[in-house]
């Protein structure tokens, strides 16, 4: 074992996150002084099949403090991984998985296990003196992703959506270009055009590059789709930029009614109503990606949409980065892309196992940074050669991808529309 990459210290603390509640930050230090720092937070909308996070409960931080997770890192996981080689991710994660011993990480908390696992990955790369994307993917890590830029968030415009965490959210995917730099520039321009339309037509306030649509502003999301198309065309990117929507339909599903309430419009909708609406959307608008279009356990319905819509159908709440759920989707033909949240399953190794499984069966993988990964998601995306990602065209992630593209030089590849299913 290289002496320099031996883990000598594991520390953790509670930190503020951009999710409105605390997260856990873990730092792993190796013998040669290299450090890996990783933050893990919960998502805004969380699938019921995800691993369990360790929270403190009580009234402080609305019960979402993570001092229990911090203690589990410092007192349990840290001592067990000290002395191991940070560059040997599988070996370290095997120890973490065995320590917890539960399929849902309920003993130590998925936030505790994931923060250590991700910090080890970064410390391993740093100890070897190589970029994180190269540590993940080796010499093959040369593919830059088709990125998106956020367009609309907000869930209460039709009087429901309390559980949705701001979904449906929309992004504009810049696929019709020859480099990430070109796609990033185009994404900025189309977002600028769309935001101006929102402000002029609907008097919508733009916050953090997203339009927040309040109640009563529109009667159906078709009005937003029309504005997106107008923005794409006015910016000169027809056929080069498409629409992505994260529906998070399960958060609108009311089981006692067997209806989706407040989704896309105020009218309650059956499963069949949604089938017909998605057909209309794909036929009349440039949708290229629909994520979680139905309830999170409706494999049959997702399979039907995958077969009939002819675009990329992404499973997030459907798959939860869980190899077992992805296998079920493969068997039924549900979806053709898996959303990757590396902190959703509990360790890096399990997340990457899911990626390999998806690739073997022809599924695409779409990384997402909603669980605290920040700009590191750029390195995951290039290292795993996904060719696409959620958002990431601008901001810190965009900056990191521009740096990677420049570092790779002539070796950098951009797959464009080929990176998206089907």
Quote the pLDDT of residue 43.
65
By mean pLDDT, which of 67-71, 115-119, 217-221, 332-336 is the weakest? 217-221
Domain identity same for 173 and 281 = yes
d(C-alpha 225, C-alpha 173), whole Å: 14
d(C-alpha 144, C-alpha 139), whole Å: 14
Backbone phi and psi for residue 320, each to the nearest 5 degrees, phi listed first: 50, 40
Among 110, 129, 148, the domain boundary falls at 129
Domain identity same for 147 and 252 = yes
Quote the pLDDT of residue 79.
98
Instruction: Read off the tokens for 86.
Output: 């940070």
Give the CATH number, domain containing residue 142: 3.20.20.120
Give the CATH number, domain containing residue 102: 3.30.390.10
Going from the C-alpha of 143 to that of each of 125, 126, 184, 419, the distances in angstroms are: 19, 21, 15, 10
* pLDDT of 208 higher than 70: no
d(C-alpha 109, C-alpha 55), whole Å: 8
Domain identity same for 192 and 244 = yes
Domain identity same for 153 and 124 = no
Going from the C-alpha of 354 to that of each of 96, 148, 253, 319, 329, the distances in angstroms are: 18, 23, 27, 10, 12
Domain hosting residue 158, numbered range: 137-419
d(C-alpha 416, C-alpha 402), whole Å: 16
* pLDDT of 8 higher than 80: yes
Q: How many CB atoms lie within 10 A of CB 76?
A: 17
Helix (H) or strand (E) run with residue 90 in it: helix 89-100
Domain identity same for 228 and 369 = yes
Domain identity same for 72 and 141 = no
Helix (H) or strand (E) run with residue 354 in it: helix 348-360
Quote the pLDDT of residue 115.
97
* pLDDT of 45 higher than 70: no
pLDDT in tens, 233-283: 999 999 999 999 999 999 999 999 999 999 999 999 999 999 999 999 999
Domain identity same for 207 and 335 = yes
Domain identity same for 338 and 252 = yes
Q: What pTM was computed for the model?
A: 0.95
Among 129, 157, 183, the domain boundary falls at 129
Domain identity same for 24 and 94 = yes
Quote the pLDDT of residue 263.
95
Quote the pLDDT of residue 44.
60
d(C-alpha 167, C-alpha 226), whole Å: 18
Q: How many CB atoms lie within 10 A of CB 199?
A: 13
Domain identity same for 120 and 160 = no
Calculate the dihedral angle through the C-alpha atoms of 379, 384, 388, 389, rounding to the nearest 10 degrees: -50
Instruction: Read off the tokens for 247.
Output: 């529906």
Domain identity same for 162 and 94 = no
pLDDT in tens, 169-193: 999 999 999 999 999 999 999 999 9
Question: What is the residue whose two structure tokens read 């590849």?
Answer: 413
Task: Report, as an integer, the average pLDDT of 221-228.
Answer: 97
Among 95, 129, 163, the domain boundary falls at 129
Backbone phi and psi for residue 362, each to the nearest 5 degrees, phi listed first: 80, 15
d(C-alpha 294, C-alpha 166), whole Å: 16
Quote the pLDDT of residue 216.
84
Instruction: Read off the tokens for 242.
Output: 């498409």
């Amino acid at each position: 074992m290289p002496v320099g990459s031996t883990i000598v210290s594991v520390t953790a603390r509670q930190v503020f996150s951009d999710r409105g509640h605390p997260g856990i930050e873990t730092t792993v230090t190796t013998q040669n002084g290299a450090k890996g720092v990783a933050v893990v937070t919960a998502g805004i909308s969380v699938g019921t099949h995800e691993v369990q996070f360790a929270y403190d409960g009580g009234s402080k931080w609305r019960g979402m403090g993570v001092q229990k997770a911090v203690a589990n890192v410092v007192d349990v996981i840290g001592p067990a991984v000290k002395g191991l080689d940070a560059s040997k991710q599988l070996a370290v994660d095997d120890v973490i998985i065995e320590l917890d011993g539960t399929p849902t990480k309920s003993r130590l908390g998925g936030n505790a296990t994931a923060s250590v696992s991700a910090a080890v990955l970064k410390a391993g790369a740093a100890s070897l003196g190589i970029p994180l994307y190269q540590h993940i993917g080796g010499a093959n890590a040369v593919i830059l992703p088709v990125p998106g830029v956020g367009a609309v968030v907000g869930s209460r415009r039709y009087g429901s959506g309390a559980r949705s965490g701001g979904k449906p959210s929309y992004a504009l995917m810049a696929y019709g270009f020859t480099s990430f730099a070109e796609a990033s520039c185009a994404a900025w321009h189309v977002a600028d055009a769309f935001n101006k339309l929102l402000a002029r037509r609907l008097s919508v306030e733009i916050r953090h590059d997203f339009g927040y649509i309040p109640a009563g502003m529109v009667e159906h999301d078709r009005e937003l789709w029309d504005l997106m198309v107008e923005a794409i065309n006015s910016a000169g990117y027809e056929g080069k930029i498409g629409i992505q929507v994260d529906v998070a339909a399960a958060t609108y599903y009311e089981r006692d009614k067997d209806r989706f309430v407040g989704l896309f419009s105020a009218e309650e909708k059956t499963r069949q109503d949604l089938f017909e609406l998605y057909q209309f959307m794909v036929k009349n608008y440039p949708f290229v990606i629909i994520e979680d279009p139905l309830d999170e356990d409706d494999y049959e319905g997702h399979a039907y949409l995958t077969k009939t819509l002819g675009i990329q159908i992404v499973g997030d709440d459907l798959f939860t980065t869980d190899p077992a759920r992805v296998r079920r989707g493969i068997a039924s033909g549900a979806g053709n892309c898996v959303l990757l949240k590396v902190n959703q399953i509990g360790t890096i190794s399990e997340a990457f196992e899911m990626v390999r499984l998806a690739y073997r069966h022809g599924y695409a993988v779409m990384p997402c940074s909603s669980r605290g990964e920040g700009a590191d998601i750029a390195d995951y995306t290039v290292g795993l050669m996904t060719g696409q990602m959620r958002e990431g065209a601008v901001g810190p992630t965009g900056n990191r991808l521009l740096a990677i593209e420049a570092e790779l030089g002539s070796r950098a590849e951009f797959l464009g529309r080929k990176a998206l299913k089907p």
